Structure 1
């Protein structure tokens, strides 16, 4: 129930598995990086990416997005 989750957030357990927490945080960071990179590489063939490597994340990509633009 939502109220149970809220209670857990206010009073987290004393024992936290640091290894598991590191893996969760790493997964979230990797997801954000992958999502940002994906705009530039999705639907592009390997040969195109070899000839035109991603050097920045300033916009453009497959969909021609402007810097910071979301579809």
Structure 2
């Protein structure tokens, strides 16, 4: 299936989604995006470099030259 065909296949669920489940899905998506933004500037760096300079805050730059807090294309 191609990306432009996928949207045509989406349908609403047959029953309402419980709020607790929706909150968990929403939280997991937000957590994934935050983790992506935190790690984007160290992507593809070797382990010794990460041990010497652990991720402690949102930073820009890195492999893709992203802005501070910007997610990679994987999270968009």
Distance 1:64 1:51 in 2: 21
Mark the runs of 5 or more structure 2 residues left unpaired by the alignment. Answer: 1-6
Distance 2:67 2:18 in 1: 38
Mark the runs of 5 or more structure 1 residues left unpaired by the alignment. Answer: none
| 1:47 aligns to 2:41 (yes or no) | no
- The aligned residue for residue 38 of structure 2 is 37
> Where do 4+ consecutive residues of structure 1 move more than 6 Å?
none
Q: Deviations over 1:30-69 (max 9, x none)?
A: 12112212312211222211101123323122x2625357
TM-score by length of 1: 0.56
Q: How many residues align?
A: 62
- CA-atom RMSD in angstroms: 3.2
Per residue, is there more helix in 1 or in 2? 1
Distance 2:44 2:56 in 1: 18
Higher relative contact order (CA 8 A, sep 6+): 2
1:27, distance to aligned residue in structure 2 (A): 1.3
